[in-house]
Amino acid sequence: MIPRLLTLATILLFSQGSALSQELGKKQPFRGKLTDPQLQGYQIAAWPLVKHATSFEIDEKGRFFSIESDRLNGGGILDIRGEGTLTAGDFRLQTIEDRRKQLLADKKFKPNFFTSVSERVARLEDVNGDGIPDKRTIYAEGMNDVLDGVAFSALAVDGALYLTCIPNLWKFEDKNDDGVADSSEKMFTGFGVRTSMMGHDLHGIIRGPDGKLYWSIGDRGYNVTTKDGKNFAAPSRGAIFRSDPDGSNFEVVHHGLRNPQELAFDQYGNLFTFDNTGDIGDKARVVYALEGADSGWYEEHQAAHQYRSRLDFADIALPKSIWVSEQMFAPRNEVQPKWILPPVANFGNGPSGVVYLTGESLPEDLRDTFLVCNYRGNSKTSQLLSVRPESNGAGFKVNGVKEVMSGVASSDVDLGYDGRIYALDFGGGWTKNKNASIQAIESPKHLENKSVKETQQYFSYGFGKAKSDRLAELLNHPDMRVRQRAQFELVKRGEKEKLATAAKAGKATTTRLHGIWGLAQLARKETSLVSMLIDLTKDKDVEVRANTCRSLGDLKTKKAVAVLREKLTDSSLRVRSLAAIALSKCGSLADAPAVWKLIEENKGEDLWIRHAGISALKNLKDNAGAVAKMASPNEEARLCAVILLRRLDDPAVAGFVGDASKQVQIEAIRAVYDRHLTSGFPALAQLTGKASEFADTVQRRILFASFWMGQPKDATRVMEMAGDSKVDGKVRETAFRALLRWNNPPTMDPVTAMYRPVEKRDIKLLASLTVPLRKAMQNAKGKEQALALELAKAVNLPMSADALEAQVFDESLESGIRVAALNTVAGQNKGKIPAIVERLKGTKDGQVQAARLRLMFEAKLPGRIKAAEGYLKTTKLPAVRASLALLATDVGGKEILTKIWNNPSSVMKEARLDAYLALASSSDAVHKKLAAEYSANPAELQKLSLHGGDVAAGAIVFQNQGACMQCHMIGGKGGAQGPALDTIGKRLSGEKILESLVNPSAEIAEGYGLFTLTTKSGEALAGRLGKETGTEVELILPTGETKTIPKGQIKERAGPSSAMPPMALALPPKDLRNLITYLASLKTEAKTKGH
């Protein structure tokens, strides 16, 4: 049964509204700007024919399937950045049912929040034959379960529509072709274990040249059990999958992706995707999806940035994730770990839709290239980019990228069977809107090519009606889609002779490849064809040899083992790489030595050979072979042994921690620590005295290996690092902080951010720390000295009271040192608190005043309430804030806090937010009521963040949890989707900055934001608003052309609208306060260097 009973809903009349509507069956002006004069564009559909579309698909009859999400923006789709109550729990989820329980347990969501609105597929048709869709039919709905995500990407093939929508891969069929699906099937379920970020969902479903379905998921992860009971799980990783069209033979093809929106094969059978940036100082990537390889991403890499303040490891976590600090996002470099396969190149800022341009309908420089939507949130900065990866050893390289279109915020792109490019204009932003449209791009000259017209005719007519001889001829066609469809039809008919002829004697390499792929499809049932494929491995054509090896591997035939071994020494590196993977699928452990030889002879020069070899050995489960390499003189063999053991989660990898090669040693440290192979932690701890020889990220792994072991002797090692002047300064500070948390470890790993729950400990550290701590205190300065004093207090280290008191009363010392000394003195001898508090009565240091007051309240000293009232009259912000927080905890202060709240002028404006937070955290019923009444008006609550923030803390919010760098630059760093903010504090007041964070469309910088209007004559226009007078509107079109429209001719208008989400609604009040203060401080134009 289809998930919801559907009725035919065909729109033939267009409704009125505030959106950019399109007159029925009429072309409209193109929204963008094309760089090639041979190309021209126009608009074929908009609201309400296209409603909240995320992507689209074109079937063989030229009909569009609009994939639509009404659940974006408050309709059941969440983004973890805006859901503070879910953040910590998200990293613990292991199955989709875990996520269901988490969501249903959160009472802030109304009962029908997730289920009241459905994702949707609509079919758009051109009834009158003029090339413009004029009929809309609701094809499928029912994707409105608690677990359902954003519907994005579909594949129309053989009368079925495959749809990706977390947690399911759907298959719909419309057997009577009335535009309404009459059957549905959940082919697979279990995708989307985590909530993660909005849109990191299932994507990109296509059909490969092998006839299989391929699709991807972002880092919402997966835990899928197939119908035959096999389980595949990686709850926080993006990946690429494949299966047969009937759902059998499910496989994970490639691991470690962040958010690959779509996939595409080139004409030689190589699979590519374009993975997105994390907006954390990294870059988007071109990924050659080598089978079995790992690109290195986990959702946890995001934790040290956007989620830092919500997690329990912030005080000891890496300043930047290892993804950024170890350059994992970049092409090959010396800093990055060797266990990942780096990207081919960095590319764009927001890759989304992808299509491989084939055939002769476009200018030659666009043919056989990937066309990628570079979606950057608004039309001004979004583009369509063309890229042609070139062979480079066993892998690829990118020599250049060409802009094809600008001025359209396209999220998806496809090549129609009529030879035109079609781009879906999402309309800007990341939430649903009514600005979406479908833009067409064509090259009139090239559309006249015979092969282009044939392509449309073949697909419209149907390949099933063509004779086999004609199908064999079509394997020579210049359009890859025609060749592939002819191949599939010949396979369906069992035409092995015709496919064999094409494979052996085809006119072109591409013809031969379709013959090979077709034979391989048939060989799944007719094994006698394997020998024919084996013969082709000796062919002169590199692509023929490469794809024959790949196909033999997919067949998993023992007959191919000998020839695949031979191909490990092929003259082509790519043939070698594919032969290695194929051999591991056909052979046995006895074939491992041949793969090791390939690795050793490669000497690490070609990364794709390295990782193909490692993937092959993983398939062969050659743990013993890897361990044996510990004694190998070949450094590359030892390095690959470490990576292999890491991928096999084999603790034996710890044996390489003492390797003579620094590179092998570092990779072994990473493997033991990152995979949490605890039996190897003692080997890492032994490196404590040599920690300074390594980069800071490796130093931290050595430090926290001891931390997780957790015994007194392990604390001694951490203390040694804290006192080692050769160790990185920030790592030394972290060592002190780790010791302070020894008995209260975080649930998140401070290096990897993986969920690592351990029971709270009760370890007595005094005996083990006495000597090294005293030694460290002699040399420590600044923050380290303050932390050392704090640690001394925590472990009850006997110290000279006179020396400590001297520090407390020394007004020339840093505040942190004085506060730490004060707390230590108080901890050692509580009887001294009254006297010390009295002596500090006249201190002018606000932080010391705050610490003094906290001691008074902790000791319940007389005069504490009066002291708090006194500090409230000062301008020392730390003391004022401490007073407010402490009054909320004391019976004697609760009435005073109430009076302060009811009289706003009684407390400095910089602390007004702190007064609210004190009320909100109070156990007093009156306080709770006051806080609840005030927060009922979010606008008033947000205004409390206008004053009192910290610039440095605000910069951290901007770079991390605020996600501002995704779209904005400061000092030349960040995204270009929105305006640079170097002088925002000069241009906007704090109030205006807050307004922009709450309602981004309220005031938009010149050149940003989409303005749309429709004239009474039916013309639809989009651009940015130039000038507006009482009688006319000036619109600047994406082409740069200025158009003036009399107001009397305007039928509808909308905008301008901003692509920016309302960040103020997602940030905690203190983060918002710090962010506003930071932005308001930016008043100087950035100085940029020339290239």
Residues 1035, 1012: Cα–Cα separation, whole Å: 9
pLDDT score for 1090: 31
pLDDT value of position 956: 83
The whole-number pLDDT of residue 19 equals: 41
Return the pLDDT at 1064. Answer: 62
Is 437 a member of any domain?
Answer: yes
Q: HEC states along 279-298?
A: CCCCCCEEEECCCCCECCCC
Tell me how far apart the alpha carbons of residues 5 and 9 are, in angstroms, rounded to a whole number. 12
Dig out the tokens for 136 from the structure.
Answer: 């809309």
Comparing 387-401, 541-555, 653-667, 754-768, the range with the smallest average pLDDT is 754-768
The last residue of a domain, from among 394, 422, 447:
447
**In 3-state terms, what secondary structure has residue 389?**
coil
Instruction: Please check whether residue 630 is in contact with residue 660, taking contact to mean a CB–CB distance below 8 angstroms.
Output: no
- Answer whether residue 10 shows pLDDT above 60: no
- Cis amide bond preceding 48, omega within 30: yes
Show the tokens assigned to 1055. Answer: 């905008």
pLDDT per residue as tens digits for the range 650-677: 999 999 999 999 999 999 999 999 999 9
Residue 1062 has pLDDT above 70, yes or no: no
Please tell me the chain's helix, strand, coil percentages from 3-state DSSP, rounded to the nearest 5.
40, 20, 40
Here the CATH number for the domain that contains residue 1069 is 2.30.30.100
921 found inside a domain: no
- Is there a contact between 356 and 254 (Cβ–Cβ < 8 Å)? no
Would you say residue 970 lies in a domain?
Answer: yes
Quote the CA–CA distance of 390 and 51 in Å, as a whole number: 39
pLDDT in tens, 833-877: 999 999 999 999 999 999 999 999 999 999 999 999 999 999 999
Report residue 993's pLDDT band, with 50, 70 and 90 as the boundaries.
Answer: confident
The whole-number pLDDT of residue 1089 equals 36
Q: Is residue 649 part of a domain?
A: no
What 3-state class would DSSP assign to 147?
coil
Between 76 and 1089, the higher pLDDT residue = 76
Q: Is residue 415 part of a domain?
A: yes
> Quick check: 772 and 788 in contact, CB under 8 A?
no
Tell me if 957 sits within 8 A of 1075, measured CB to CB. Answer: yes
Contact between 1055 and 1012 under an 8 Å Cβ cutoff? The reply is yes
Question: Does position 414 have pLDDT exceeding 90, yes or no?
Answer: yes
Q: Which residue has the tokens 């094969």?
A: 265
* Mean pLDDT in residue range 10-39: 64
The alpha carbon torsion through 517, 518, 521, 526 (nearest 10 deg) reads -120
Q: Which residue range is the domain that position 1041 belongs to?
A: 953-1080
Round to whole Å and give the CA distance between 803 and 783. Answer: 18
Q: Are 21 and 1014 in contact (CB under 8 A)?
A: yes
Spatial distance between the Cα atoms of 201 and 194, rounded to a whole number of angstroms:
10
Q: Which of 202, 326, 183 is nearest to 260 (CA)?
A: 202
Classify residue 795: in a domain, yes or no.
no
- CATH for 213: 2.120.10.30
Check whether 961 has a pLDDT greater than 70.
no
Instruction: Judge contact between 465 and 443, C-beta under 8 A.
Output: no
pLDDT at 241: 98
Q: Which of 411, 426, 447 is at the close of a domain?
A: 447
The residue out of 418, 447, 476 marking a domain boundary is 447
C-alpha 409: how far from chain center: 19
pLDDT over threshold 80, residue 373: yes
Q: What is the mean pLDDT of the chain?
A: 91
Let me know if residue 867 belongs to a domain. Answer: no
CA distance 693 to 711: 25
Specify the DSSP class assigned to residue 982. Answer: T
- Dist CA 197 CA 960 (whole Å): 14
Mean pLDDT of 580-591: 98
pLDDT of the residue at 397:
97
Residue-wise pLDDT tens digits, 598-622: 999 999 999 999 999 999 999 999 9
Which residues fall within 8 angstroms of residue 42, CB to CB, at 6 or more apart?
A: 27, 28, 29, 30, 439, 440
Number of domains in the chain: 2
Q: Which residues neighbour 554 within 8 Å (Cβ) at sequence distance 6 or greater?
A: 210, 520, 582, 585
Q: Is residue 86 part of a domain?
A: yes
